[in-house]
Amino acid sequence: MENILNEEVIPMPRIGDKAPEFKAKTTQGDINFPADYQGKWVILFSHPADFTPVCTSEFMTFATLEEKFAKANTQLIGLSIDGLYSHIAWLRTIKDKIEFKGMKNVDVKFPLIEDITMNVAKKYGMIMPGESSTQAVRAVFFIDPKGTIRAIIYYPLSLGRNFDELYRVIVALQTADEFAVATPADWKPGDDVIISPAGSCGVAKERMDGNVEGLDCKDWFFCTKKLDKDMVLDKVLKKEKEPVLA
| Residue pLDDT, tens place only, 173-217 | 999 999 999 999 999 999 999 998 877 888 888 888 877 788 998
* 161 annotated as ligand-binding: no
Query: Which pLDDT value is given to residue 128?
Result: 86
Distance CA 47, CA 44 (A): 10
Residue closest to 82 by CA, chosen among 44, 121, 109, 108: 121
Query: Which pLDDT value is given to residue 155?
Result: 94
Tell me the domain boundaries of the chain.
2-161, 175-238
Confidence band (pLDDT; 50, 70, 90) for 2? very low
Query: Which pLDDT value is given to residue 7?
Result: 53
Distance CA 236, CA 169 (A): 12
User: How open is the CA angle 238-68-141, to the nearest 5 degrees?
Assistant: 100
Query: Does residue 27 contact residue 91 with C-beta atoms inside 8 Å?
Result: yes
CATH fold for domain 175-238: Antioxidant, Horf6; Chain A, domain 2 (3.30.1020)
pLDDT digits 0-9 by tens, 44-85: 999 999 999 999 999 999 999 999 999 999 999 999 999 999
Confidence band (pLDDT; 50, 70, 90) for 241? very low
Residue closest to 148 by CA, chosen among 47, 31, 244, 237: 244
Q: Judge whether residue 113 has pLDDT over 90.
A: yes
Q: Judge whether residue 119 has pLDDT over 80.
A: yes
Burial (CB < 10 A; 0-12, 13-18, 19+), residue 132, is middle
Q: Judge whether residue 152 has pLDDT over 90.
A: yes
Confidence band (pLDDT; 50, 70, 90) for 1? very low
Distance CA 62, CA 20 (A): 23
Query: Which pLDDT value is given to residue 238?
Result: 65
Region 75-104 average pLDDT: 97
Distance CA 207, CA 215 (A): 8
235: which DSSP letter?
A: I
Region 98-105 average pLDDT: 97
Buried b (16+ CB within 10 A) or exposed e, 72-82: bbbbbbbbbbb
- Using CA of residue 145, residue 148, residue 151, residue 153, what is the dihedral sign? positive
**120 vs 9, higher pLDDT:** 120
- Using CA of residue 170, residue 124, residue 185, residue 161, what is the dihedral sign? positive
201 a catalytic residue? no
Query: Which pLDDT value is given to residue 178?
Result: 94
Specify the CATH number of the domain 2-161: 3.40.30.10
Q: Which of 55, 201, 217, 223 is catalytic?
A: 55
User: CA distances (Å), 127 to each of 20, 117, 163, 220, 229, in order?
Assistant: 15, 12, 22, 44, 39
Confidence band (pLDDT; 50, 70, 90) for 37? very high
